[in-house]
């Protein structure tokens, strides 16, 4: 997925990264994403920001790695390899080892990626293939998906910030 955002031209790249972080929920709910490493339905995402603040205008690329469960060994191994590749390319700085990251608390289940951005019920996920429940997209940004008008209306206070910043959205390699 390629998305171009209108972001403030802050000289402090940390502020821009903070703005991008606010957009990530909408990215998660834009498609029925699958785990990058096993193909299972994704519930979590690992984001890595790569910035070039010295360019004019400054650039920021966010790598989104949709995953099934951060505590799964195959996911941690895959994320370590992916981050290592970005480091070798000079696109990522040092990062704490995934083994040192805290485990997800017992009993916590994150919503499926691609579910309604407001209610986040698992049964609303999908809609990318025939026979799956269809979600409507925000008519402004054409990215964020909702199971109905009521959920979209109730999420507007949060979503309007993202909606105003999305310039274009293009879903690549989707049939």
- Is the link from the previous residue into 116 a cis peptide, with omega within 30 of 0? no
pTM of the model: 0.80
Any idea where the domains of the chain sit in the sequence?
2-170
Mean per-residue pLDDT, 67-89? 88
**pLDDT for 17 beyond 50:** yes
Decide if 110 contacts 44 (C-beta within 8 A).
Answer: yes
Spatial CA neighbour of 70 closest among 94, 46, 89, 93? 46
pLDDT digits (tens, 9 = 90+) for 129-142: 666 667 899 999 88
Measured CA angle at 101 (ends 95, 102), to 5 deg: 160
Name every residue whose Cβ is closer than 8 Å to that of residue 11 and which is 6 or more positions away in sequence.
Answer: 53
**pLDDT for 45 beyond 60:** yes
> For residues 48 and 63, what is the distance between their CA atoms, to the nearest angstrom?
5
pLDDT digits (tens, 9 = 90+) for 93-142: 666 666 677 788 888 999 999 999 999 999 998 766 666 667 899 999 88
Residue with tokens 């407001």: 118
> For residues 113 and 131, what is the distance between their CA atoms, to the nearest angstrom?
18
């Amino acid at each position: 997925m390629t998305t171009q955002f209108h972001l403030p031209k802050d000289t402090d790249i940390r502020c821009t990264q903070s703005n991008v972080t606010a957009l990530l929920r909408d990215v998660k709910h834009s498609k029925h994403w699958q785990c990058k490493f096993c193909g299972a339905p994704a519930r979590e995402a690992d984001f890595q920001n790569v910035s070039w603040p010295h360019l004019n205008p400054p650039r920021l690329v966010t790598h989104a790695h949709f995953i099934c469960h951060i505590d799964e060994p195959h996911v941690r191994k895959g994320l370590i390899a992916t981050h290592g590749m970005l480091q070798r390319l000079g696109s990522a700085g040092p990062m704490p080892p995934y083994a040192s990251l805290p485990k997800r608390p017992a009993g916590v289940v994150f919503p499926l990626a691609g579910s309604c951005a407001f209610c986040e019920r698992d049964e609303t996920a999908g809609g990318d293939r025939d026979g799956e429940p269809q979600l409507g997209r925000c008519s402004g940004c054409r990215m964020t998906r909702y199971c109905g008008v009521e959920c979209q209306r109730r999420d507007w206070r949060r979503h309007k910030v993202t909606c105003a910043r999305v310039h274009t959205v293009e879903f690549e390699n989707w049939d």
